[in-house]
């Protein structure tokens, strides 16, 4: 392989890496803004989160397209091929995280005029702090090809599951206490599910980092902290 | 290109097609069984749905791996490349549909001992009939590369959205009528969201069929029947 070809290939990989970094930054911001909007019922901020989402969709399509073209053009083997497959997978997870943040923002717009149940949002904030932390960690793990860090993100996924179970029970209690809380708390139930799904996608990315570095897949069963609610 | 190479390539495509057909059949069965289990609160059947899911995960990984190897080996261009990208996308959507059916099955196991709200399940059955129909139609459209049929699946997605809104309102009403309905109906709310998401993935597959046949993407905005609930 001539130096010219190697360097073009590296450039293409770098291009993919830059786009994934952009997606990661956008997804982190969307999640953080969506949670702020939910906490303060700020519909303007929620609207901004929704408006960012198409950019994430476009980036994902671009990554998929250039990844496939790179495979067809360069016929990479082994670790180089894994790099590109990993880029496709990670971009898919980040696109989904953006969707989940968008969903939280849309719920915020729906409940902004309803009677508020302030204490109901506390557990969600705790969940989203953990999810944001998992996302940050796994993006760092991906950027640095850090298998150990990816492993610890993967091992921590159960935490968010158990927290979701607790939030689920709390929200049901608030609903049973006063029927006027039902609509508001129902929307929060969906938000908590969305946050828990962000954690799942962070875990997917962790699995991709391990696959990228080792060529191995992690066991299909994840460590679970879950007792009650289905995925 | 020699005949030998062309025919190997065709064989690889056929292999992908067979695996996708298997995934489609499994996903359809899982959805149908999950809804039967939910209607009758049959936990044995629900358990069977959960047990099938890993097969779908394995198939998806196999499709992704052999698709990528085929691209690297054959360097296909234009429509051939789209065939393979489409296989990757469709297998991702079918794997998610299996997950959603599994979620409904898990909810069934959670609520099997709770006081039942029989009328609450009627709207869900209606939703799942539509979703199953959309899934069947889009799998046929994919198998036959039938763009018109894919288009009509795509255009009908709003129906499921409006129905979900109606189910959402009904379930909230049942919860407000009697707090003892809250837990049961909450799980049904998540099931209705899962069914609506099945419709979304059928719509994704419809978009992939159009992309496959024409190389064009459909507009990002879909026809929406939605009034209230966020995605």
Distance from chain centroid for Cα B186: 22
Q: CA-based angle B93:B111:A125, to the nearest 5?
A: 70
- Residue B150 maps to a domain: yes
- Residue A222 maps to a domain: no
Q: Which two tokens mark A203?
A: 């875990």
Q: Residue A50: what pLDDT?
A: 98
Q: Residue B5: what pLDDT?
A: 56
Write the pLDDT tens digit of every residue in B28-55: 999 999 999 999 999 999 999 999 999 9
Region A153-158: mean pLDDT is: 93
- Residue B226 maps to a domain: no
Query: What is the rounded CA–CA span in Å between residue A17 and residue A215?
Result: 19
pLDDT over 60 (residue A140): yes
Q: Cβ separation of B230 and A107 shorter than 8 Å?
A: yes
- Coil, strand or helix: which one is B162? helix
Asked if B131 and B32 touch (Cβ cutoff 8 Å), the reply is: no
pLDDT over 50 (residue A150): yes
Domain span holding position A104: 3-214
- The crossing angle, in degrees rounded to 10, of helices B43-74 and A43-74 is 50
Query: What is the rounded CA–CA span in Å between residue A16 and residue A26?
Result: 15
Q: Residue B219: what pLDDT?
A: 56
Per the structure, the count of domains in chain A is: 1
Q: Residue A73: what pLDDT?
A: 83
Give the number of A-B residue pairs with CB atoms closer than 8 Å: 92
- Residue B220 maps to a domain: no
Q: Cβ separation of B110 and A229 shorter than 8 Å?
A: yes
Position with higher pLDDT, A34 vs A5: A34
Q: Residue B227: what pLDDT?
A: 44
Q: Residue B2: what pLDDT?
A: 47
- Residue B221 maps to a domain: no
Asked if A70 and A171 touch (Cβ cutoff 8 Å), the reply is: no
Query: What is the rounded CA–CA span in Å between residue B195 and residue B219?
Result: 23
Q: Cβ separation of B182 and A193 shorter than 8 Å?
A: no
Q: Residue A120: what pLDDT?
A: 87
Which residue is closest to A54 within chain B, CA to CA? B220
What is the DSSP secondary-structure string of B126-161? HHHHHHHHHHHHHHHHHHTT-HHHHHHHHHTHHHHH
pLDDT over 70 (residue A125): yes
- Residue A169 maps to a domain: yes
Q: Which two tokens mark B221?
A: 């905005």
- Residue A227 maps to a domain: no
The CATH number of whichever domain residue A156 belongs to comes to 1.20.58.220
Region A68-92: mean pLDDT is: 86
Region A178-191: mean pLDDT is: 95
Q: Which segments of chain B have a pLDDT < 50?
A: 1-2, 227-231
Q: What is the ipTM of this complex?
A: 0.86
- Residue A228 maps to a domain: no
């Amino acid at each position: 392989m001539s130096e010219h070809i190697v360097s073009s290939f590296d450039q293409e990989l770098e291009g993919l890496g830059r786009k994934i970094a952009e997606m990661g930054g956008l997804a982190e911001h969307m999640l953080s803004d969506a949670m702020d909007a939910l906490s303060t019922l700020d519909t303007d901020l929620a609207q901004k989160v929704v408006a960012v989402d198409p950019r994430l969709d476009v980036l994902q399509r671009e990554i998929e397209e250039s990844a496939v073209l790179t495979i067809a053009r360069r016929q990479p083997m082994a670790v180089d091929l894994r790099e590109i497959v990993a880029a496709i997978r990670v971009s898919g997870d980040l696109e989904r995280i953006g969707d989940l943040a968008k969903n939280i923002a849309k719920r915020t717009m729906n409940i902004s005029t309803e009677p508020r149940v302030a204490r109901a949002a506390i557990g969600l904030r705790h969940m989203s702090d953990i999810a944001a932390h998992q996302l940050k960690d796994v993006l760092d793990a991906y950027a640095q090809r850090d298998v150990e860090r990816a492993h610890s993100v993967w091992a921590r996924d159960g935490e968010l599951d158990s927290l979701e179970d607790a939030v689920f029970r709390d929200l049901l209690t608030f609903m049973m206490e006063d029927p006027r809380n039902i609509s508001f708390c129902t929307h929060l139930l969906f938000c908590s599910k969305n946050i828990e799904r962000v954690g799942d996608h962070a875990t997917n990315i962790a699995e991709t980092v391990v696959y990228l570095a080792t060529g191995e897949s992690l066991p299909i069963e994840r460590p679970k902290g879950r007792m009650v609610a289905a995925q």
